[in-house]
């Protein structure tokens, strides 16, 4: 029988009779079939028509996972737009031989940007080997090269979509069509949050939200407690974080207590109103955040050496450097899942200039994050993920000069991990000689999601939520752990 992460909330505290319990166990175990309908009807007849996978009484309380965890926290670096694996971490010398020769498409998805004749395009960047592991990196990853032996490269991942919004949804939520919970929501649903004064799932977006918008970090059908809190990249990270000058903490506490009494009275008249319960908890969390968040978000207290290491005060590293440094501070404060966005890597032309500028903006900050967590003894318990929504093709149209770039490619991409129990110093999987498709240790993104959950001590087959008549999970319908990624 499949269980949820919150087994204690399956039925009421009084508990069913042994005969009723056995009947429920049988119907519950039938999963997404007529048994689900029968179970719902049974619970309704007993006045308990509620998902067996409902949240516990303290939804964000820290909880043990299903398995021994290698990581306690996750920092997810999302390079929105689709970084080119061929021009970052997966060298393809064969393309130098074929450069600007005509390319013929055969049996692959086309992106909406493709038109006219296509030509093979070599990478404008030279590749070098780094560290004892001999990790292959394009020459412009000057700082990340210094932590090469901490990284685990995975070249075997594939996704289903060639379009940005649907591919973003699939990478972030497991479903191409939106509406499902994000990875961070699933993780906080399964593990809770260590620090009850801060959200368990925090997102650091760009000024312009990624394609697909805030649905990329939604709680979906999970209770509202598990949605992400985005911090604004400009101005105050959280609006209204500071109360008006004439509102003291005592006065604010009295106001919240009165609102709480009114909400509690409403909740008694409308039991099992999860959105109301989440709203009430949000008021209290916001009050507690006013005490702790300003100090956490203040980077001025960091010494000059640390600020320089992350590239603060310099261009083009200042913006992403602040995000990476803030991510380190949030991990120190016990935030479970932090996602950082950087875009746009959608380089359909002038890839040397475009990818060159993008790498310069993130290289120093990301290397600093890895090194800083390591020296503070936090890398072992913090899983870092670097990825985009898909890779890019070995071909493109030519519009004159060096304007060539690359199109979308769901069949080949490079993802790397660091810390958190990954197999550091390894390159797992391989693509063909052109970088068109993965050919070794090939896995759908659902397997990658299952592996991330496993590193955090969660079993995708047990981390389920009963919704719309069936049990749902991040992988959609199951997957397998990519064992070589685990150290």
Tell me whether residue 78 is in a domain: yes
Distances (CA, A) of 162 to 111, 118, 169, 249, 433: 6, 17, 12, 51, 21
Instruction: Assess whether 324 and 190 both reside in one domain.
Output: yes
Tokens 């240790």, residue located: 441
pLDDT given at position 59 = 83
DSSP state of 422: B
> To the nearest 10°, the Cα dihedral for 149, 152, 153, 154?
160
232 and 365 inside one domain: yes
Instruction: Give the pLDDT of residue 260.
Output: 66
Percent of the chain exceeding pLDDT 70 equals 73
Helix, coil or strand: residue 335 = coil
Cβ atoms of residues 188 and 153 within 8 Å: no
Span 171-229, pLDDT tens digits: 999 999 989 999 999 999 999 998 888 889 999 999 889 999 999 999 999 998 899 99
Two structure tokens written together for 438: 């993965």
Kindly tell me if the per-residue pLDDT of 249 is higher than 90.
Answer: no
Residue 269: which pLDDT band, with cuts at 50, 70 and 90?
confident
pLDDT band at residue 105 under the 50/70/90 scheme: low
40 assigned to some structural domain: yes
Q: Are 94 and 207 in a shared domain?
A: yes
Whether 338 is covered by a domain: the verdict is yes
162 and 27 in one domain?
Answer: no
Let me know how many helices (H) and strands (E) the chain has, helices first: 11, 21
pLDDT of residue 42: 39
* pLDDT above 70 (res 406): yes
Question: Tell me, what's the pLDDT at 123?
Answer: 95
Structure tokens at 154: 């995975």
Structure tokens at 244: 């008006």
Beta bridge partners of 428: 154
- Looking at residue 102, its pLDDT comes to 85
> Is residue 68 a part of any domain in this protein?
no
Whether residues 223 and 368 fall in one domain: yes
What CATH number has the domain bearing residue 430?
3.40.720.10
DSSP 3-state helix, strand, coil percentages of the chain (rounded to 5)?
35, 15, 50
In a domain, 270, yes or no: no
Residues 6+ apart with CB under 8 A from 12: 48
Same domain for 105 and 223? Answer: yes
Over range 402-415, report the average pLDDT: 91
Q: Could you tell me the residue range of the domain that residue 11 belongs to?
A: 7-45
Residue 118: its pLDDT value, please? 81
Mean pLDDT of 464-470: 94
Helices (H), 71-220: 94-98, 164-173, 183-191
DSSP collapsed to 3 states, 304-326:
HHHHHHHCCCCCCCHHHHHHHHH
**Same-domain check for residues 20 and 150:** no
- The helix (H) or strand (E) run that includes residue 203 is strand 201-204
Same domain for 121 and 187, yes or no, is: yes
When divided into structural domains, the chain yields a total of: 2
Spatial contact of 53 and 4, defined as CB atoms under 8 Å apart: yes
Residues 433, 319 share a domain: yes
Q: What global pTM score does this model have?
A: 0.81
Q: Where are the alpha helices (DSSP H) in 46-127?
A: 94-98
Same domain, 25 and 158: no
Q: Is residue 245 part of a domain?
A: no
Most confident range (mean pLDDT) of 2-6, 9-13, 194-198, 401-405 is 194-198
């Amino acid at each position: 029988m499949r269980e949820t992460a919150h087994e204690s909330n399956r039925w009421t505290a009084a508990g069913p009779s042994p005969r009723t319990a056995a009947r429920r166990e049988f119907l519950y175990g039938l999963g997404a079939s007529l048994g689900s309908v029968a179970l719902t009807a049974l619970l309704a007849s007993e006045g308990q028509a509620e998902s067996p996978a409902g949240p516990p009484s303290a939804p964000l309380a820290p909880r043990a996972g299903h398995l021994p965890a290698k990581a306690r926290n996750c920092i997810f670096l999302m390079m929105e737009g689709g970084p080119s694996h061929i021009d970052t971490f997966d060298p393809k010398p064969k393309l130098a031989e074929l450069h600007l020769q005509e390319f013929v498409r055969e049996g692959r998805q086309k992106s909406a940007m493709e038109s006219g004749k296509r030509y093979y395009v070599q990478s404008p960047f030279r590749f070098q080997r780094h560290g004892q592991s001999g990790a292959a990196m394009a020459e412009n990853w000057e700082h990340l090269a210094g932590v090469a032996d901490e990284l685990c490269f995975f070249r075997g991942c594939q996704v289903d979509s060639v379009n940005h919004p649907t591919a973003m949804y699939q990478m972030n939520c497991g479903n191409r069509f939106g509406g499902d919970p994000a990875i961070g929501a699933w993780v906080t649903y399964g593990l809770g949050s260590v620090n009850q004064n801060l959200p368990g799932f925090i997102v650091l977006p760009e000024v312009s939200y990624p394609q697909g918008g805030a649905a990329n970090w939604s709680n979906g059908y999970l209770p509202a407690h598990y949605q992400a809190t985005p911090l604004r990249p400009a101005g105050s990270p959280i609006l209204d974080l500071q109360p008006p000058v004439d509102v003291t903490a005592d006065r604010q506490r009295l106001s919240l207590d009165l609102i709480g009494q009114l909400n509690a009275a409403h909740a008694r008249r409308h039991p099992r109103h999860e959105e109301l319960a989440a709203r009430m908890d949000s008021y209290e969390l916001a009050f507690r955040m006013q005490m702790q968040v300003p100090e956490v978000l203040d980077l001025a207290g960091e010494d000059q050496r640390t600020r320089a290491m992350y590239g603060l005060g310099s261009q083009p590293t200042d913006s992403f450097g602040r995000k990476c440094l803030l991510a380190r501070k949030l991990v120190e404060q016990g935030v479970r899942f932090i996602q950082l966005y950087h875009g746009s890597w959608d380089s359909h032309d002038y890839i040397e200039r475009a990818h060159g500028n993008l790498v310069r903006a993130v290289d120093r900050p990301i290397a600093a994050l890895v090194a800083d967590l390591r020296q503070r003894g936090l890398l072992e318990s913090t899983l870092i993920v670097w990825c985009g929504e898909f890779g890019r093709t070995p071909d493109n149209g030519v519009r004159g000069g060096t304007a060539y770039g690359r199109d979308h490619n769901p069949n080949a991409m490079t993802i790397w991990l660091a810390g958190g129990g990954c197999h550091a110093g390894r390159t797992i999987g391989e693509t063909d000689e052109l970088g068109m498709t993965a050919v070794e240790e090939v896995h759908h993104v659902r397997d990658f999601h299952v592996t991330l959950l496993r590193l955090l001590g969660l079993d995708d087959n047990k981390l389920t939520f009963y919704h719309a008549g069936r049990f749902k999970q991040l992988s959609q319908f199951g997957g397998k752990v990519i064992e070589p990624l685990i150290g």
